[in-house]
């Protein structure tokens, strides 16, 4: 019981640290001179691959079809 509680506490602590680091990185991308933060979720298509680690069926919103590949998230 105590071990499970400790795991949940540490997991929550790691999440908070991760969120804090992400927020600090996003703040460095924005300033008074910049008014826009661009977020792009693109598809990295791997149509001919069969046994690639983490390969998934991802929806391509340009044509509305599902394709094999990876979802990429880009901040700019």
Residue-wise pLDDT tens for the chain (76 aa)?
A: 667 666 666 677 778 888 888 888 877 777 777 667 778 778 888 878 778 888 888 888 888 888 888 888 777 6
Backbone angles phi, psi at 49, to 5 degrees: -80, 145
Task: Kindly state whether residues 42 and 70 are assigned to the same domain.
Answer: yes
Task: Kindly state whether residues 52 and 26 are assigned to the same domain.
Answer: no
Domain that holds residue 5: 1-34
Question: How many domains is the chain built from?
Answer: 2
Task: Kindly state whether residues 43 and 71 are assigned to the same domain.
Answer: yes
Contact 60, 75 (CB under 8 A): no
Task: Kindly state whether residues 25 and 46 are assigned to the same domain.
Answer: no
Task: Kindly state whether residues 64 and 47 are assigned to the same domain.
Answer: yes
Task: Kindly state whether residues 21 and 43 are assigned to the same domain.
Answer: no
Residue whose pair of structure tokens reads 């394709």 in the numeric block: 67
What was the pLDDT predicted at 60?
83
What was the pLDDT predicted at 24?
84
State the burial class of residue 46 (Cβ atoms within 10 Å of its Cβ: 0-12, 13-18, 19+): middle
pTM above threshold 0.85: no
């Amino acid at each position: 019981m105590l071990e499970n509680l400790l795991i949940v506490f540490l997991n929550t602590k790691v999440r908070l640290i991760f969120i804090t680091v992400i927020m600090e990185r996003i703040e460095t991308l924005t300033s008074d001179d910049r008014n826009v933060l661009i977020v792009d979720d693109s598809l990295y298509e791997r149509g001919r691959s069969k046994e690639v680690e983490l390969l998934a069926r991802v929806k391509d919103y340009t044509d509305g079809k599902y394709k094999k590949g990876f979802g990429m998230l880009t901040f700019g």
